[in-house]
Amino acid sequence: MVGGRYRPLTGPEVERIHTLVLDLLADLGLSQITPSLEARAVAAGCEVDGAGRLRFPRALVEDVIARTRRKFTLHGIDPAHDLEIGGQRVHAGTGGAAPTIMDFASGKYRESTVADLYDIARLVDRLDNIHWYHRSVVARDTKTILDLDINTTYACLSGTTKSIAVSYTDSASVRAVMPMLDAVAGGEGKFRERPFCTAVCCHVVPPMRFATESCDALEAAVEAGMPILLVAAGQAGATAPAALAGAVAQACAEVLAGLILCNIIDPNCRGIFATWPFVSDLRTGAMSGGSGEQALLSAACAQMAAFYDLPNSVPAGMTDSKLPDMQSGGEKGYTISLAAHAGASMIHESAGMHGSLMGTSFESYALDNDLLGAILRTVKGVEVNEDTVNFEVIRDVVLGEGHYLGHPQTYTRMKTDYLYPQIADRRSISAWEEAGARDAREIARDQVSAILADHYPSHIPEAVDRQLRDAFNIILPRDRMRAGNGIW
């Protein structure tokens, strides 16, 4: 499904923003580059100014944009879940780092755990319109960064065969998980052949400053052959300009800085242009992920990425609501649909998130999967051809039966043109009342329970799992990973 039919910016507006992007990279640069990357960057033609800021000459920026990979396969653990990223093909999946989750039993928010990560992975594994599982909650029951990263990687790997991603904030974590990724891939060096784990890398602390440890992680991840999600997450009005166009320009500059570094490390890198400028509610300074302004920021960034023709990501679906309620649906509906129609390659945070990314809920993965299906149907668009725009079909019906119910075209189109949702209730008011007058959240709870009680993926052989448990401090108990564990 190819987007790009919604263009929030005109061509000259895109050019104007691009000019500022080049100016920012060439004439302002970014501070706090690591020594290792500084050496590589200077060798490639960057300059360091008197204040120690790394500047990127315009020609270098244009060169890297021209020669970086325009598309690549984002591998699933199972090749059936491989995704072709690039060229305005639209995909949607999870993302984020919520510290809390709405407990499925109590309905109250609590700290999220490794078991939650694993359960969400299993859920996502069965929800067709969520195309990958990028870790969406923080496992608060780990004690060190290394344990966090190891257990996050393990929980994601074990719970799904879709493509996964983990945010690695230092290079030690990247090096630590490589044997695990190789083991799951089938042996040493095998991960690099089909890298199914993306490194999420917030390589900048906006405005226009590198994040030192994340830059080390970036270097390690690119060298390990991981796809890398280059995230610049400035907040308009706080760490990015309050003017939306300015926030877009700053984000583009910050992400390009990272992409150039990745290309210097490995010209064949799989970099994802992840402009994630967020919106502040300027009354309080708090983030507002569900606002109309956020929808515009994400859509405009997707359009800039299309202008650069880069595999890209924007965030959408980050409702401010704390519940899967009408506010949640509305905010997810317009932010995701505008990002999708603007042609974003990857829409992150598009399932499960609440409270401006501070929380998540099991029900919402199921609900949002349903919503994503409908939105992706709209991206598929209206088919116009001899069969769909056909005088004879209409004439035959009008002069014949008087209705299209029995027409052969209706039967054919029923299968090709129409999507049937899993949760959305289309019954009459009376039929719905007779069936108990339940709301969408309740239906979603049924789907979640059914999947989580039953679906325990077994793609990692027991021998490999034992090997991982011997080599790593895995805190998810093995008997938590089997049906009938008494939890679900």
Interface residue with a second copy, options 384, 436, 462, 479 (CB under 8 A): 384
Interface of this chain with a second copy, residues 445 to 484, rule: CB under 8 A: none
Which segment (57-65, 184-192, 359-367, 452-460) binds a second copy by CB under 8 A? 359-367
Site string for a second copy, 264-283 (x = CB under 8 A): ---------------x-xxx
Among 37, 92, 166, 208, binds a second copy (CB under 8 A): 208
Residue 237, both tokens: 């009005």
Does the protein bind a second copy through residue 387 (CB under 8 A)? yes
Q: Which long-range contacts (CB under 8 A, 24 or more apart) does 329-332 make?
A: 329/367, 329/371, 329/440, 331/289, 331/290, 331/291, 332/290, 332/368, 332/371
Confirm or reject binding of residue 145 to a second copy (CB under 8 A).
Answer: no
Least distance to a second copy, CB of residue 233, Å = 14
Residue type, 63: D
Cis, peptide link before residue 206, omega less than 30° from 0:
no
Residue 203 or 270: the one with the smaller Cβ distance to a second copy is: 203
Residues 150-179 that bind a second copy (CB under 8 A): none
Number of alpha carbons in the 13 Å side-chain half-sphere of residue 214: 19
d(CA 276, CA 254): 10
Identified binder of a second copy from the candidate list 50, 284, 462, 479, rule CB under 8 A: 284
Contact pick of 390, 458, 473, 485 for a second copy (by CB under 8 A) = 390
Q: CB within 8 A of 434, min separation 6: which ones?
A: none
- Sites for a second copy among residues 406-425 (CB under 8 A): 407, 409-410, 412-414, 417-421, 423-425
Is 321 a binder of a second copy (CB under 8 A)? yes
Toward a second copy, which CB reaches closer, 25 or 164?
A: 25
Q: Closer to a second copy by CB, 166 or 372: give it.
A: 372
106 binds a second copy (CB under 8 A): no
Binding a second copy (rule: CB under 8 A), the pick from 393, 422, 467, 480 is 393
Stretch that binds a second copy, among 20-28, 125-133, 183-191, 261-269 (CB under 8 A): 20-28
In the complex with a second copy, the residue whose CB is nearer, 150 or 302, is 302
**Structure tokens, 98:** 């919520």
For a second copy, give the closer residue by CB, 310 or 339: 339
The β-bridge partners of 198 are: 165
**Residue 324 contacts a second copy per CB under 8 A:** yes
Count of other CB atoms within 10 angstroms of residue 141: 16
Contacts (CB under 8 A) with a second copy, residues 325-344: 325-334, 336-338, 341
Residue 231: which H helix or E strand, with range? strand 228-232
Q: According to the binding rule CB under 8 A, does residue 112 interact with a second copy?
A: no
The residue count for binding a second copy (CB under 8 A) is: 130
Q: Are 277 and 297 in contact (CB under 8 A)?
A: yes
In angstroms, give the least distance from the CB of 474 to a second copy.
29
Q: 13 or 82: whose CB is closer to a second copy?
A: 13
- Give, for 121, the enclosing helix (H) or strand (E): helix 114-125
> Judged by CB under 8 A, does residue 33 bind a second copy?
no
- How far the first Cα of the chain sits from its last, in Å, is 35
d(CA 186, CA 180): 10
Q: Does 207 bind a second copy (CB under 8 A)?
A: yes
Find the binder of a second copy among 405, 436, 462, 486 (CB under 8 A): 405
Is 2 near a second copy (CB under 8 A)? no
The helix (run of H) or strand (run of E) holding residue 448 is helix 440-454
User: What φ, ψ does residue 165 adopt, rounded to 5°?
Assistant: -150, 145
- 462: enclosing H helix or E strand: helix 462-471
Place of tokens 């998810």: 476
Out of 45, 52, 395, 477, the only residue in the binding site for a second copy (CB under 8 A) is 395
Tokens 């009376």, located at residue: 430
- Mark 223-262 with x for binding to a second copy (rule: CB under 8 A) and - for no binding: -------------xxxxxxxxxxx-xxx------------
- Binders of a second copy among residues 117 to 136 (CB under 8 A) are none
Q: How far is CA 118 from CA 83, 137, 139, in A?
A: 22, 10, 10
Question: Where in 295-314 is the site for a second copy (CB under 8 A)?
Answer: 295-296, 299-300
Strand 47-48 to strand 54-55: parallel, antiparallel, or no bridges (unpaired)? antiparallel
Token digits of residue 61: 């920026």
Q: How far apart are CA 272 and CA 59, in angstroms?
A: 21
d(CA 108, CA 106): 5
Q: Which of 128, 433, 434, 446 binds a second copy (CB under 8 A)?
A: 433
47 is a site residue for a second copy (CB under 8 A):
no
- Residue 449: CB atoms within 10 A of its CB come to 14
66 vs 243 by CB, closer to a second copy = 243
Stretch that binds a second copy, among 38-46, 57-65, 188-196, 394-402 (CB under 8 A): 394-402
Query: Of the candidates 179, 404, 449, 480, which one interacts with a second copy according to CB under 8 A?
Result: 404
Alpha carbons 352 and 317: distance in angstroms, whole number:
8
Nearest distance, CB of residue 3 and a second copy, angstroms: 10
Kindly report the length of the chain.
488
- What is the CB neighbour count within 10 angstroms for residue 208? 23
